[in-house]
A and B are shown apart, each in its own frame.
Chain A
């Protein structure tokens, strides 16, 4: 008699596990199917106030509102916005969970797409989790020297390092963009950004001295271990005429002079200084 119940209980537990897994997949497929329209449809649900608010739905609506609020909080503190999130459960049992996730989003203006697989095993004392596959695609003009780092991170499956580094990298890129844009707006006749404000190039030219220009290369290097290092270099170009008068050997010493300036005054003040020499 006992055994009969025990067998039934086991069977029911398995059935429930299966039904719950099915339900999750159904919900996920509803979301994929209705995608964009979902937000639109939900708007009308949320806007039904007063008498029309169905008690059956109000608890669900409150829960959804809370989740949205929490998501905004996480997005803000993590500095990572996720626009797309597709989850596929490959295996789910009492002690083991295997999922594939596909995420797309941005960190400030830097876009990324990340696909990874994660396995979780519940052991007696702890939950063991590991990333078993990782594929990363990054998009943006800033990423031209990023591929060595991405390859390494994909090899070592270091998902967390990727996002930590992305955050730091995006902050350095943002500083560069703001600084370049600031100078272009302040000195539009002298400063030009031939590849846009998101690139690493800024050119300073005086209308009075054609053939002479100063090019600032503001590189942001990312090592394979995820160390983000900005470095600035100055390249001087002088017309042959001007070079004849270069008694102070500005051409030769200019770059070193700029490096010293950077050490003493910092980036903004040094660039300002350079621009001023051309303006006066």
Chain B
């Protein structure tokens, strides 16, 4: 940076125009950036070459070939360095693996007085929100901070399990948050994929969903589907009711089948199937 400033001052002394000054400033910055990147590239290349040297050295060792002094001196430290660096890479990979499989990513804060955990959620392979929580461990285990939605029954879950069994608490919370994220995602997906169906009612906790579909037929008829999710650990409804002005329609075998579909598969999947089969618009 000194070089840049010096150069700028020199330019100023030369009495260059305002415009020219801007241009040379930019030019200088580009030049500096290029130099920095060149240095980084060279260092990486040097490291790569060093690895090749180490491999040759290792090879010599394993084949009991004689080592010359140059080999031995620099070689051994480099060997240990490459092993350590390789081990570090593996450890980082393991950390990432724990993270990807939905681990809690526990971090100790405040010298062990509290811990932060993350709850990763996913639905059908797509990772969704991550919720975080800080737990104070000083006397009893207390939740000090979190970003879990207020509609979520966090207090009641904490009251039941937190003091007795921390891992069970985390497990229950993770299960319920994932189910919640899954239910919410289904609503997003059905809005996106099945535009012909209207969401009449849904709530914060996504445990009730009322949909208006248009049944195909001689005259299209409106059908109201109410999905109740009684089990908050699940993404599927516990009760589905079909309502239509035309009673013969709602009682028909086709709509009994649709009712089962809505009970057994995610909402967007069921509706897409119903549309594909010509049951709804």
**Residues of A in contact with B (beta carbons under 8 Å apart):** 1-2, 5-6, 8-9, 12-13, 15-16, 19-20, 22-24, 26-28, 30-31, 34, 38, 41-42, 45, 54, 56-57, 60-61, 63-64, 67-68, 70-71, 73-75, 77-80, 82, 85, 87, 101, 103, 114, 118, 128-132, 134, 156-161, 163-164, 167-168, 225, 227
Task: Compute how far the CA of A13 lies from the CA of B44 in the bound complex, rounded to whole angstroms.
Answer: 12
Interface string of B238-281 (1 = CB under 8 A from A): 00000000000000000000000000000000000000000000
Q: Are A30 and B41 in contact (CB under 8 A)?
A: no
**Residues of B in contact with A (beta carbons under 8 Å apart):** 23, 26-27, 30-31, 33-34, 37-38, 40-41, 44-45, 47-48, 51, 77, 80-98, 100-106, 108, 117, 120-127, 167, 170-171, 174-175, 178, 233-236
User: Can you add 20 more A-B contacts, CB < 8 Å, to A28-B86, A42-B87, A60-B81?
Assistant: A2-B23, A5-B27, A12-B40, A16-B41, A27-B89, A28-B93, A31-B87, A57-B84, A61-B84, A71-B98, A77-B104, A78-B103, A82-B98, A85-B90, A128-B127, A131-B125, A157-B124, A157-B125, A159-B102, A160-B121
Task: Compute how far the CA of A168 lies from the CA of B233 in the bound complex, rounded to whole angstroms.
Answer: 13
Task: Compute how far the CA of A57 lies from the CA of B34 in the bound complex, rounded to whole angstroms.
Answer: 30
Judged by DSSP, the binding face of A is helix
Task: Compute how far the CA of A67 lies from the CA of B97 in the bound complex, rounded to whole angstroms.
Answer: 14
Q: Are B101 and A38 in contact (CB under 8 A)?
A: no
Task: Compute how far the CA of A159 lies from the CA of B94 in the bound complex, rounded to whole angstroms.
Answer: 16
Contacts of A161 in B (CB 8 A): 122, 178
- State how many angstroms separate the Cβ of A8 from the closest Cβ of chain B: 5
Q: Are A56 and B77 in contact (CB under 8 A)?
A: yes
Contacts of A82 in B (CB 8 A): 94, 97-98
- State how many angstroms separate the Cβ of A7 from the closest Cβ of chain B: 10
Task: Compute how far the CA of A63 lies from the CA of B95 in the bound complex, rounded to whole angstroms.
Answer: 14
Q: Are B234 and A77 in contact (CB under 8 A)?
A: no
Contacts of B81 in A (CB 8 A): 56-57, 60
Contacts of B103 in A (CB 8 A): 74, 77-78, 80
Contacts of B47 in A (CB 8 A): 23
Q: Are A19 and B30 in contact (CB under 8 A)?
A: no
Most chain A C-beta atoms within 10 Å of own C-beta, residue among B37, B120, B170 = B37
- State how many angstroms separate the Cβ of B189 from the closest Cβ of chain A: 13
Task: Compute how far the CA of A30 lies from the CA of B36 in the bound complex, rounded to whole angstroms.
Answer: 29
The verdict on A227 contacting B34 (CB below 8 Å), with A45-B80, A159-B100, A160-B121 known, is: no
Contacts of A227 in B (CB 8 A): 233-234
The chain B residue with its CB closest to the CB of A64 is: B88
Q: Are A74 and B106 in contact (CB under 8 A)?
A: yes
Task: Compute how far the CA of A225 lies from the CA of B264 in the bound complex, rounded to whole angstroms.
Answer: 10
Contacts of B88 in A (CB 8 A): 27, 60, 63-64, 67
Q: Are A30 and B86 in contact (CB under 8 A)?
A: yes
- State how many angstroms separate the Cβ of B202 from the closest Cβ of chain A: 21
Closest 10 CB pairs of A and B: A157-B125, A160-B102, A5-B30, A27-B89, A12-B37, A67-B91, A30-B86, A19-B44, A131-B125, A129-B127
The verdict on A85 contacting B93 (CB below 8 Å), with A38-B87, A79-B167 known, is: yes
The chain A residue with its CB closest to the CB of B23 is: A2
Task: Compute how far the CA of A19 lies from the CA of B39 in the bound complex, rounded to whole angstroms.
Answer: 13
The chain A residue with its CB closest to the CB of B121 is: A160
Task: Compute how far the CA of A25 lies from the CA of B193 in the bound complex, rounded to whole angstroms.
Answer: 40
Would you list 19 pairs from A and B whose C-beta atoms are within 8 A, ordered by A residue? Answer: A5-B34, A9-B37, A12-B38, A23-B47, A38-B86, A41-B80, A42-B87, A45-B83, A54-B77, A56-B81, A60-B84, A80-B103, A87-B97, A103-B97, A129-B127, A130-B125, A159-B125, A160-B120, A160-B121
Q: Are B102 and A164 in contact (CB under 8 A)?
A: yes
- State how many angstroms separate the Cβ of B247 from the closest Cβ of chain A: 32
Q: Are A16 and B40 in contact (CB under 8 A)?
A: yes
